[in-house]
Amino acid sequence: MKQDIILAGVGGQGILSIATVIGSAALEQGLYLKQAEVHGMSQRGGDVQSNLRLSSDPIQSDLIPRGAADLIVSLEPMEALRYVPYLTPQGWVITNTVPFVNIPDYPPMDSIMAELGKLPHLIAIDVDAIAKEVGSPRSANMVLLGGIAALLDILDPEQLRDGIRRIFGRKGEEIVAANIKAFDAGFNYAKKEK
């Protein structure tokens, strides 16, 4: 089995923390993984993405071909839209609905949502609101990670929870618990929508 994910956002939003947990879980699961990241200039508030490929067999390209991604995960709605040409026609998009406006010509939100709405498989959620609701306001990224776990078969949700424990363990029990709560909230929400 092979599943390809594009993680998208704006430089500084922290898409790499999602990738780190997935990487840790994939390594434990004995999966092959390739994850191309963006470093350098774009991290200064530009559009950033990470190509994350998971497979039970060796992976060739570090980059996902157009039309091959099973899932686009985005911390920002317009950034989700940017990578739609990479999605397979059956693929899912899970995105935060809160825009990150740091450019003067940010398009009207309703036109972005209308474009996203044309996709066959979309989960649009206010991740900050969900994170706040479960009492983990600083764990919005983990809500999206929960969504990923619900939408992809290749990753074992329990392994991802363990991944969260490993990555955030040194920050203390409380932070781990808050992140797991956010993860579960995202997981349950996406499961319902799927």
Partner 1 sequence: MAEKQLLLGDEAVALGALHAGLSGVYAYPGTPSTEITEYIQGHPLTRERHVHDQWTTNEKTAMEGALGMSYAGKRALVCMKHVGMNVCADPLMGSAMTGANGGLVVAACDDPSMHSSQNEQDSRFWGTFGMMPVFEPSNQQEAYEMTRAAYDYSEQRTIPVIMRLTTRMAHSRAVVQPAAEIRPQNELHYPAHPKRWVTLPVNARVRNRELIKNYAQFEEDAACSPFNKLSDGPDHSLGVIACGIAYNYLMENYPDGCPYPVLKISQYPFPRRLALQLAEMVPTILVLEEGQPLVENMLRGVFPAQTKILGRIDETVVRDGELSPDEVRKALGLPALPAFAASQVLAPRPPALCQGCGHRDFYTALNNVLKIDYPSARVFSDIGCYTLGYMAPFQAIHTCVEMGASFTMAQGAAYAGTWPAVGVLGDSTFTHSGMTGLLDAVNSHADVVLCISDNLTTAMTGGQDSAGTGRIEAICAGLGVDPAHIRTIVPLPKNYPDMERVIREEIEYHGVSVIVCRRECIQTARRHASKK
Chain residues in the site for partner 1 (CB under 8 A)? 10-12, 19, 23-24, 26-27, 32-47, 51, 59-68, 78-79, 81-82, 84-89, 102-107, 111-112, 115, 119
d(C-alpha 57, C-alpha 90), whole Å: 22
Nearer to partner 1, 72 or 130 (CB): 72
Comparing CB distances to partner 1, the nearer of 82 and 191 is 82
The smaller minimum CB distance to partner 1, of residues 14 and 46, is found at 46
Smallest distance, Å, CB 185 to partner 1?
Answer: 26
Give the bridge partners for 95, in sequence order: 74, 124
Q: Which is nearer to partner 1, 98 or 129 (CB)?
A: 98
> Is 186 in contact with 75 (CB distance < 8 Å)?
no
Instruction: Tell me whether residue 119 or residue 129 sits nearer to partner 1 (CB atom).
Output: 119
Hey, how many other C-beta atoms are within 10 angstroms of the C-beta on 29?
16
Quick one: which of 134, 186, 194 has its CA closest to 21? Answer: 186
Dihedral Cα 9, 12, 14, 20, nearest 10 deg: 110
Least distance (Å) between residue 60 CB and partner 1: 4
Listed in sequence order, the residues at least 6 apart from 30 whose beta carbon sits closer than 8 Å to its beta carbon are: none
| Cβ 126 to partner 1 shortest distance, Å | 20
CB of 5 to partner 1, least distance (A): 13
Q: Cβ of residue 177: shortest distance to partner 1, in angstroms? A: 20
Look-up of token digits 């508030």: 45
CA of residue 165 relative to chain centroid, distance: 18
- Return the closest-CA partner of residue 147 out of 184, 116, 117, 121: 184
